[in-house]
């Protein structure tokens, strides 16, 4: 655990964000490994099926992840205030909520996945494999929530290293199982999904065993978990706006996929692969933003509000530098990156065009996410929710539909950075307004 209320902000945030970044890189490698192995061994239809599954999976889990993020903010603020009794009750409450939520999400997803894929007009040859992948993945969703919930709790306590260790182990086992189930046993797309479930289950179970033996705050015992209604309601108050934001973002991704689907399997497969690369490129900004949220939460909880601005400036400098370097590298090597996933020339060409257009503007996304991290750390999640939804639903999706009818599929790609720029501008305006400072859970 780390106290982020004292010391140099740049050093603290960099030191805290680096293990989170490495951990999330390995987390993304789950998806990338699935896509590479599926694309190489099972073809572009299966590749499109895996890619189409993730917006739907994200839609199903987004609201729960948002509420859990409210618990993480509360844990960070109580830890900053050194109230360990409430820290422990917050952790127990979060585990209980995630367990029952995962059961509900798994059942609903398995029942309705096929219908949703048909509703968004996924190409007919892709739907059966996408539904099969989804159903196997969702059968183990409790492990996904358990592992990611444990990692979020540790980040709220200032510990970003422990999740990294287990993610490395989990990712390595996922790659091994992917090759075994898909390339050796020939289980098809179900094998790729089962490899991910098995890896997440192993990561969660071993992490719980480790924490129960070694961690000074966390001691997970299902018979001793304590539900705290007041803490849960505080989590709801903070987390529901983020949950709605995540849900409508995921619905927006499905809406964009619906537009992409009209261009056929090659474009869906290219969008899937380019989205994996995009996801990896976005990780530094997202992790610097998450680190800044914990930093801001602890300092607000400790009544050291003056340190928040220092942390924001330091984080913008670090994340901005990474975003510029990432943009240059992806623009140069875009074709080679696409070729890692598939040998289909048309899919490579479409995906490389996406990367050429979108990757030049990662600085906008990075700044938007980092500025939002301050508000989330303060417990102000309502205005960032509206900013995100406006830039997505009022700008990105309508603009993608409009431009795609004028200039083809490139119009969908151009709508992405335009929406990022608007989100960045609105986030900065609200940060300068300063109302987020009044939203802290811990009052002085």
Q: Convert the pLDDT of each residue in 121-150 to its tens digit.
A: 888 888 899 999 999 999 999 998 988 888
For residue 289, count CB atoms less than 10 angstroms from its CB and return exposed for 0-12, middle for 13-18, buried for 19 or more.
Answer: buried
Tell me what pLDDT residue 347 has. Answer: 93
Among residues of the chain, what percentage have pLDDT more than 90? 35
Is the CB of residue 25 less than 8 Å from the CB of residue 163?
no
Enter the tokens of residue 224.
């001793």
With tokens 């994996």, the residue in question is: 276
Q: How far is residue 139's CA from residue 125's CA, in Å, rounded to a whole number?
A: 23
Q: Which of 23-37, 199-213, 260-274 is least confident?
A: 23-37
Q: Does residue 345 form part of some domain?
A: yes
> What is the pLDDT of the chain when averaged over all its residues?
87
State which of 2-16, 17-31, 359-373, 384-398 shows the largest mean pLDDT: 359-373
Is the CB of residue 272 less than 8 Å from the CB of residue 36?
no
Q: Return all residues near 11 (Cβ < 8 A) that are at least 6 apart.
A: none
Residues belonging to the chain: 444
Enter the tokens of residue 337.
């990156």
Of the pLDDT bands very low, low, confident and very high (cuts 50, 70, 90), residue 378 is confident
Tell me what pLDDT residue 407 has. Answer: 93
Of the pLDDT bands very low, low, confident and very high (cuts 50, 70, 90), residue 2 is low
Of the pLDDT bands very low, low, confident and very high (cuts 50, 70, 90), residue 267 is very high
Q: Does residue 404 form part of some domain?
A: yes
Mean pLDDT (whole number) for 232-248: 80
Name the DSSP class of 218. -
Q: Which of 80-89, 105-114, 284-293 is least confident?
A: 80-89
Provide, for the chain, the percentages of residues in helix, strand and coil under a 3-state DSSP scheme, each rounded to the nearest 5.
Answer: 85, 0, 15
Q: How far is residue 169's CA from residue 150's CA, in Å, rounded to a whole number?
A: 16
Outline where 81-119 has alpha helix (H). Answer: 84-119
Of the candidates 322, 436, 302, which has an alpha carbon nearest to the alpha carbon of residue 376? 436
CA distances from 79 to 89, 145, 217, 226, 307 (A): 12, 23, 11, 18, 17
More confident residue, 356 or 80: 356
Which stretches of 242-365 are assigned E, i.e. beta strand? none
Is it the case that residue 358 has pLDDT exceeding 60? yes
Is the CB of residue 188 less than 8 Å from the CB of residue 136?
no
Q: How far is residue 293's CA from residue 310's CA, in Å, rounded to a whole number?
A: 13
Tell me what pLDDT residue 167 has. Answer: 81
Task: Enumerate long-range contacts of 394-398, CB under 8 Å, 24 or more apart.
Answer: 395/419, 395/422, 396/252, 396/256, 397/252, 397/255, 397/256, 397/259
Mean pLDDT (whole number) for 220-224: 75
End-to-end CA distance of the chain: 24
Q: Which of 65-79, 246-260, 301-315, 345-359 is least confident?
A: 65-79
Tell me what pLDDT residue 444 has. Answer: 54
Q: How far is residue 190's CA from residue 381's CA, in Å, rounded to a whole number?
A: 37
Is it the case that residue 441 has pLDDT exceeding 80? no
CA distances from 242 to 20, 47, 73, 322 (A): 20, 30, 12, 26
Tell me what pLDDT residue 366 has. Answer: 95
pLDDT digits (tens, 9 = 90+) for 290-328: 889 888 888 887 888 889 889 999 999 999 999 999 999
Q: How far is residue 53's CA from residue 135's CA, in Å, rounded to a whole number?
A: 10
Domain count, the chain: 1
Is the CB of residue 159 less than 8 Å from the CB of residue 151?
no
More confident residue, 424 or 306: 424
Q: How far is residue 72's CA from residue 290's CA, in Å, rounded to a whole number?
A: 10
Angle between the N-to-C axes of helices 397-407 and 410-433, in degrees from 0 to 180, rounded to the nearest 10: 150
Q: Which of 73-87, 89-103, 382-396 is least confident?
A: 73-87
Q: Which of 164-173, 355-364, 386-395 is least confident?
A: 164-173
**Could you give the angle at the alpha carbon of 10 between the alpha carbons of 6 and 16, nearest 5°?**
75
Of the candidates 20, 34, 23, 22, which has an alpha carbon nearest to the alpha carbon of residue 174? 34
**Could you give the angle at the alpha carbon of 35 between the alpha carbons of 278 and 257, nearest 5°?**
60
Q: Does residue 1 form part of some domain?
A: no
Mean pLDDT (whole number) for 163-179: 86
Q: Does residue 4 form part of some domain?
A: no
Q: DSSP 3-state assignment of 439?
A: coil
What is the number of alpha carbons within 13 Å of residue 225 lying toward its C-beta? 16
Task: Print burial letters for 31-63: b (CB count within 10 Å at least 16), e (below 16).
Answer: bbbbbbbbbebbbbbbbbbbbbbbbbbbbbbbb
Expressed as residue numbers, the domain containing 74 is 9-438
Of the candidates 312, 287, 315, which has an alpha carbon nearest to the alpha carbon of residue 25? 287
Is it the case that residue 74 has pLDDT exceeding 90? no
Taking residue 130's Cβ as centre, other Cβ atoms within 10 Å add up to: 26
Tell me what pLDDT residue 30 has. Answer: 66
Mean pLDDT (whole number) for 219-248: 81
């Amino acid at each position: 655990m780390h106290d982020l209320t004292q010391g140099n902000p740049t050093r603290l945030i960099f030191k805290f964000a680096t293990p989170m970044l490495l951990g999330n890189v390995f987390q993304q490698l789950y998806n990338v490994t699935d896509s590479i192995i599926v694309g190489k061994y099972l073809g572009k239809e299966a590749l499109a099926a895996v890619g189409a599954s993730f917006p739907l999976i994200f839609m199903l889990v987004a609201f729960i992840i948002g509420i859990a993020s409210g618990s993480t903010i509360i844990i960070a603020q109580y830890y900053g205030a050194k109230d360990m009794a409430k820290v422990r009750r917050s952790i127990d409450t979060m585990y209980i909520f995630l367990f029952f939520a995962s059961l509900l999400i798994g059942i609903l997803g398995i029942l309705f996945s096929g219908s949703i894929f048909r509703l968004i007009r996924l190409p007919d040859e892709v739907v059966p494999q996408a539904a099969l992948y989804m159903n196997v993945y969702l059968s183990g969703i409790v492990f996904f929530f358990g592992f990611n919930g444990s990692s979020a709790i540790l980040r709220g306590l200032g510990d970003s290293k422990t999740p990294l260790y287990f993610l490395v182990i989990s990712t390595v086992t996922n790659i091994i199982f992917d090759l075994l189930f898909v390339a050796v046993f020939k289980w098809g797309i179900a094998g790729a999904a089962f490899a991910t479930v098995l890896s997440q289950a192993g990561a969660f179970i071993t992490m719980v065993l480790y924490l129960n033996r070694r961690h000074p705050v966390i001691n997970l015992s299902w018979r001793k978990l304590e539900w705290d209604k007041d803490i849960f309601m505080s989590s709801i108050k903070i987390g529901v706006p983020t949950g709605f934001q995540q849900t409508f973002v995921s619905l927006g991704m499905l809406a964009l996929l619906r537009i992409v689907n009209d261009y056929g399997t090659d474009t869906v497969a290219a969008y899937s692969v380019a989205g994996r690369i995009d996801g990896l490129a976005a990780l530094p900004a997202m992790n610097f933003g998450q680190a800044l949220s914990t930093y801001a939460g602890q300092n607000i909880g400790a009544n050291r509000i003056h340190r928040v601005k220092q942390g924001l400036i330091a984080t913008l400098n670090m994340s901005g530098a990474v975003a510029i370097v990432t943009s240059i590298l992806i623009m140069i090597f875009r074709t080679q990156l696409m070729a890692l996933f598939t040998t289909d020339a048309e899919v490579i060409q479409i995906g490389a065009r996406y990367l050429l257009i979108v990757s030049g503007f990662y600085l906008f996304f990075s700044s938007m996410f980092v500025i939002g991290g301050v508000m989330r750390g303060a417990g102000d999640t309502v205005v960032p929710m509206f900013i995100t939804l406006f830039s997505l639903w009022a700008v990105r999706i309508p603009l993608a539909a409009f431009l795609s009818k004028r200039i083809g599929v490139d119009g969908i790609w151009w709508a992405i950075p335009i929406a990022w720029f608007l989100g960045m501008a609105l986030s900065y305006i609200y940060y300068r307004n300063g109302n987020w400072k009044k939203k802290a859970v811990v009052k002085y």
